[in-house]
Amino acid sequence: MGLFGNLFDKFKQGLQRTQELVLAPMQRLLGLRRLDEDQLLELEDLLLQADLGLHAVERLMERLRFEMKRNAEIDPKAVLKDELLKILRQVPSRPLEAKGTQVVLLVGVNGVGKTTTLGKLASHLKSRGEDVLVVAGDTFRAAAIDQLELWGERAGVPVIRNQMGGDPAAIAFDGATSAQAKGTPWVLIDTAGRLHTKDHLMRELDKIHRSLQKVIPEAPHRVILVMDATTGQNGLVQAEAFKAAAGITDLVLTKLDGSAKGGVVVPILERMKLPIAFVGVGEGVDDLIPFDPEAFVDGLLSA
């Protein structure tokens, strides 16, 4: 027995060492039952690398220390998951339901994937058998309208446009009017990428709002902030600025198929109580999927 016991221990030890070497550092730490000060610091660094930001990481570390005070052994992964899910589930996402004519406006800084997201969203709604009208509101970036028209073709939905450099508020107005007259359930409006620090461009969003409301008083029903998963702590400032200027109602997190895990949405959701409607995971038409908090947290904690 003694021999076997010994062997068994050795085996276990060996396995542990292998695990330490083979497993990603985060996995190794989360597999422990108690963490010493050095290990806590290491974990803190790893969480910061997920773009969670200083504040949220502090909150997570506090919770861990609290649990370790109360219990002899803890499951760090379960603790972190619980705390993160608390933040992510504060506001459940609302499904897109056709009721009369629903106007959806997509906003965000340059290069996050607004046009691509809109294309995917149009396909998704169309495949549910609901009619969609797409409005090419990005009249600034060269060839943005052409890009959107190609997506329209793919999805089999009409795209209305005016010329480059035209007034996005005017074309939004036309779109809403036409959709309402025809009883089209969805109007998806693309807008030009704009940095949240450019006041004149942010005011343009307000103008789009007002012109939509002349047609449908409740419009836009959804204002979706599209955010790139590689975004760092500036995401928080972005979200606040777009909330103030355009009254965003939902987030879409794009490019989650990369190595960035989009951790910045945690501080955003913590502060702003917004739901995440979808996440983008590729360039294909079907690569827009509903947000699954649990899978998202697993991604964050698997680095």
Partner 1 sequence: MFESLTEKLTKAMKSLRGETRLTEKNIEDALREVRMALLEADVHVQVARTFLQRVKEKALAQGPDGKGTVVLDGLNPAQQFIDIVYQELTEIMGGTAPEHPLDFASKPPTVVMMVGLQGAGKTTTCGKLAKFLKKLGRSPLLVPADIQRPAAVEQLHVVAQDAGVPSYRTDSKDPVAICKAAVEEARIKGWDTVILDTAGRLHLDEQLMNELVRIQEGTQPNEILFVADAMTGQDAVRSATAFHEKLGLTGVILTKTDGDTRGGAAFSIKHATGRPIKFVGEGEKLDDFQRFHPDRMAQRILGMGDVLTLIEQAKDKIDEKEAEAMAQKLVKNQFTLEDMRSQLQQVKKMGSMQKLIGMLPGMGQMKAQIESVVTDKRMTHLEAILNSMTPRERANHNLLDAKRKRRIAAGAGRPVHEINQLLKQFLEMKKMMGQMKDPRFMKRMAAMKNMPGMPKMPF
Binding-site ranges for partner 1 (CB under 8 A): 45, 48-51, 53-54, 109-113, 116, 140-144, 146-147, 149-151, 195-198, 228-235, 237-238, 255, 257-260, 263-264, 283
Instruction: Report the nearest approach of partner 1 to the CB of residue 283 (Å).
Output: 7
* Residue number, 56 or 103, with CB nearest to partner 1: 56
* Residue number, 150 or 272, with CB nearest to partner 1: 150
Instruction: Report the nearest approach of partner 1 to the CB of residue 214 (Å).
Output: 28
Residue 190 pairs with which residues in a beta bridge? 136
* Residue number, 100 or 111, with CB nearest to partner 1: 111
Instruction: Report the nearest approach of partner 1 to the CB of residue 255 (Å).
Output: 7
Q: How far apart are CA 96 and CA 70, in angstroms?
A: 43
CB of 279 within 8 A of CB of 288? yes
* Residue number, 87 or 229, with CB nearest to partner 1: 229
- How far CA 216 is from CA of 157, 172, 185, 187, 295, in Å, comes to 22, 11, 13, 12, 37
Instruction: Report the nearest approach of partner 1 to the CB of residue 237 (Å).
Output: 6
Instruction: Report the nearest approach of partner 1 to the CB of residue 282 (Å).
Output: 9
* Residue number, 82 or 283, with CB nearest to partner 1: 283
* Residue number, 51 or 67, with CB nearest to partner 1: 51
Q: Taking Cα atoms as reference points, which of 103, 212, 211, 190 lies closest to residue 140? A: 190
Other beta carbons less than 10 A from residue 144's beta carbon: 21
Instruction: Report the nearest approach of partner 1 to the CB of residue 174 (Å).
Output: 22
Q: Which residue has the tokens 């409006």?
A: 189
In this structure, what DSSP letter does residue 194 have? -
CB of 196 within 8 A of CB of 242? yes
Q: How far apart are CA 179 and CA 182, in angstroms?
A: 5
